[in-house]
Amino acid sequence: MDGSSKLPAFILPSVRGQLIRGGSIRLLSFAIASWCWYLAGRDEKGRTIEIVDPPANALQTAAKRGPAVLLTVADVFEDDLRVAGAFIGEVEAAFNVLAAQGTRAALAGYLREAEFDNSA
């Protein structure tokens, strides 16, 4: 399975459920932002990443325009999530953290925050 088929099967149902329950989608949004980062096709050192996904060209074109554009790809994201402001905002925020801090630091920060949230 590739990212474009894994997201709708495994991650997006959890996003949808959390939105319905009013729960946190922060880590789920980070996962989607990371996928968007990957689809841009370059690692943090500028090296090319081979994208292995049947609709890679369309996904890369959307991802290079930013997460908000990627989230409009109907083959991956259904109507309810394509217009969910909280979801779009969380994914964009996570993507911006990735861009500003790099993958390792961003992931460490998100995991620290999740650990703190779970210890309360």
CATH number, residue 23: 1.10.1040.10
Q: Give the range of the structural domain holding residue 69, as residue numbers without chain letter.
A: 3-119
Q: What is the pTM of this model?
A: 0.91
> What is the tens place of the pLDDT at every residue in 62-74?
998 999 999 999 9
Residuewise pLDDT in 10s, the chain (120 residues): 588 999 999 999 999 999 999 999 999 999 999 999 999 888 888 899 989 899 999 999 999 899 999 999 999 999 999 999 999 999 999 999 999 999 999 999 999 988 877 654
Which helix or strand (DSSP H or E) is residue 26 part of?
helix 26-39
Question: CA 67, 68, 71 angle in degrees (round to 5)?
Answer: 85
At 22 the three-state DSSP class reads coil
Could you give the number of structural domains in the chain? 1
